[in-house]
Amino acid sequence: MMTLNQHNKNGRVHGKVALVTGGAKGIGAASVRLLAAEGAQVLISDLDVEAGQALAAEIGSSAAFIRHDVSNEDEWRQVIGHVRERYGRLDVLVNNAGILICGSIEETSLTDWHKVMRVNADSVFLGCREGLALMKDSGGSIINLSSIAALAGRDDYTAYSASKGAVAALSRSVAVLCRRRKYRIRCNTLHPDGVLTDMTRGGFPEGVDPNRLTIDSDPMNRMCRPEDVAASVLFLASDESRAINGVELRIDGGQMVMSI
């Protein structure tokens, strides 16, 4: 069995360079592990230095960590410059970093609204803009993490839902731009629902064990795991999805269609 620090020459993303924001935990970490296991060189971007460095050490030579505030324009330029200097190109950009602040429109302060928008929406705008500059000559794949909350009404996720809706709309604009300008860059959106991560654990009522909600072997009857989303990240990062652009993929076990 291949360990994470053995570079997979037969992997689905062998030889590709990937940048994963919010890559130290949750969906980001699962994506980093899978991309590295399938042959990519992965740069982990996160504010959590301890977790990010630990993940890079766990994976080995196929991964590196860089501290990165995704809401900061100057830091985006520095990170993309680091990618250019270290790897020479960028093949896969996964804009995954995000935060959740719950609250209805009556309860959400303007400060919290701006904070969520900066981390969830501004970061994707900056990532796409700065990433395009490095990717447009050689082509690649941009994968933006939105949420089912962008598609379904949630009265308690006002800022979060709006920020993820912005991600989806931005992704469509980037996809059209890349096609019209023949950049050979694909931009697609993932809409996960109910993924058990550190960010979502705090939203469960007292007495509910969130870990039990992932036990069922049938993905239709349990919460999604980060690895479920990472599998879609890998597909969109690979050449298997070379004809897919401007798509919004729901990862929700059919939850949306059940509500129609």
Is 160 known to be catalytic? Answer: yes
Phi-psi region of 8 (alpha: psi -120 to 50; beta: other; left: phi over 0): beta
CA dihedral 33, 249, 79, 173 (to 10 degrees): 170
Q: What is the pTM of this model?
A: 0.88
| Structure tokens belonging to residue 228 | 């479920």
Confidence of residue 240 (pLDDT cuts 50, 70, 90): very high
Buried b (16+ CB within 10 A) or exposed e, 184-214: ebbbbbbbbbbbbbeeeeeeeeeeeeeeeeb
- CA–CA dist 147, 164 (Å, integer): 6
Within 8 A by CB and 6+ apart from 238, the residues are 12, 13, 38
Contacts 24+ apart (CB under 8 A), 73-78: 73/126, 76/126, 76/127, 76/130, 77/130
Residue 183 has phi, psi (to 5 degrees) of -80, -10
Q: Which is higher by pLDDT, 59 or 223?
A: 59
| Structure tokens belonging to residue 115 | 């904070």
Mean pLDDT score across all residues of the chain: 89
- CA–CA dist 160, 200 (Å, integer): 12
- CATH says 17-251 is which class? alpha beta
Confidence of residue 4 (pLDDT cuts 50, 70, 90): very low
Q: What pLDDT is stored for residue 213 in this prediction? A: 42
Give the tens place of pLDDT for each residue, 177-186.
999 999 999 9
